[in-house]
Amino acid sequence: MTDKQIIRDEALDEQYSIIHHKSGLDILIWKMEGYRTTEAMFVTKYGSFNNIFRKAGQKDFTAVPEGIAHFLEHKLFENEDCSAFALYAKTGADANAYTTFDHTAYLFSCSQNWDKSLEVLLKFVQEPYFTRENIDKELGIIGQEIRMGLDSPERRCFYALLRALYSEHPIKIDIVGTEETIAKITPELLYECYDNYYDLHNMFLAIAGNVDEDKVIELADKLLRDCEDRKVETYIPSEPRDVCQKRIELTCPVGLPIFNIGFKAEPLSGEERVKKSVAASVALELMSGTMSSLYKRLLDERLINSTFGYDIMAKDGIFFTAFTGESEDPDRVCELCIEEIERVKREGFDQRLFDIVRKSTYGQIIRELSSPERVCSGLMVSGMMDGVDSFCQIRALRELTAEQCRQAVDELIDPEYCAVSVVRPE
């Protein structure tokens, strides 16, 4: 049976619906009256992590080539007669797709004919068509994408950091794979991955904009096909607490050395992961944002430029923070960043500066509520992938304290578990 629940945040006076459709698909609808743009995303919880798997009841795991999730995303746009892009051209929608470490999303944005575009989306994602001929055609296209990635110093530095931090977890594997691994992809393997992970029980649909909820359900009833819950299990090897390597250096044709300074933490899940991610993000802004004493010192010593920043990645089995940028002396940057981390652990954060940064960050998220695209991807999709409601991040930021930020630094940004990747000029 199809049933519906309303998720509401009283402080924001905002709400959205979750339709638990009889097919097994969860449909999230955030109605934004008066808006012209509609954003829709059809998501499967299948990404580059999911290379070793088995269905419920099977004894043995199946291993597939690296990069197959991304390859499948490309090929799903083609059917026997035409491409999905040709169908979207008739509705006027702007369509795209992407593959990440843990999910693949198919999306469109439009200002008219949202229902016709949604019909295209629901149809083509459920109609795989893989042949040896169209796989061979795609090998050259994705091979070129792989080579372009190898020409990106920033991308190479990022993946070098992942290899330095993690010895077992598949996050260290490039999402697009390599030319050697994708050459092993066959129609049979694509269908096997599709059948296991493109199961409506493992997927969800998120829509934000001025849409008619009843029409969405009508299209879902018409187009979604009932399927069994395959309960596929992904094998993720156990990851040790220590970093794999303290340092990785590469050379590329760059003007200045590029650096990533990462701090590996214990993985978290659910609401705890969201709360800790919010606290760590604000803490990193307090420590290294443009208002911080560390940022001023790095600039005064001419150690950084405008590329300096920070990052957080928190997914199943992983949690790390990083400082990134360009510098003539990445080791000195690392030294000063660690000094600031240790100082914060001892002294905590200035309350006045914390209030400014927290309110500023909160304001940025509230502004995103006026964008169907950001509501759809930044709140609904992110929340579903974390296993929480779409307001969880906003609530965590609203309730955040300076002491929680200090605790996040203490627990999640530990110099003992630091690794550095550097790309130096050839």
CB-CB contact of 239 with 166 (8 Å): yes
Residue with tokens 């150690």: 303
Pair type for strands 38-44 and 52-54: unpaired
CA dihedral angle for residue 65, residue 69, residue 70, residue 74, rounded to 10 degrees: 110
- Name the token pair of 250: 């590469």
Q: Where are the beta strands (DSSP E) in 111-227?
A: 203-209
- In this structure, the dihedral spanned by the alpha carbons of residues 231, 71, 114 and 28, taken in order and rounded to 10 degrees, is 30
Closest CA to 161 of 339, 294, 324: 324
Active site residue 73: yes
Sign (positive or negative) of CA dihedral 6, 9, 10, 12: negative
Burial class (CB in 10 A: 0-12, 13-18, 19+), 13: exposed
Enter the tokens of residue 124. Answer: 């083509």
SS3 per-residue string spanning 175-228: CCCCHHHHCCCCHHHHHHHHHHHCCHHHEEEEEEECCCHHHHHHHHHHHCCCCC
Strand intervals (E) in 35-127: 38-44, 52-54, 62-63, 94-99, 104-110
User: Is beta strand 418-425 parallel, antiparallel or unpaired with respect to 247-252?
Assistant: parallel
Q: Which residues are CB-contacts of 304 (< 8 A; sequence separation ≥ 6)?
A: 295, 298, 325, 326, 327, 333
Beta strands in 128-224 (DSSP E): 203-209
Q: For the purposes of burial, counting CB atoms within 10 Å of the CB of 397, is it exposed (0-12), middle (13-18) or buried (19 or more)?
A: buried
* Whole-number Å distance between alpha carbons of 166 and 173: 10
Residue in 66, 73, 326, 340 annotated catalytic: 73
Angle at 93 between CA 90 and CA 99, to 5 degrees: 120
Residues with a known catalytic role: 73
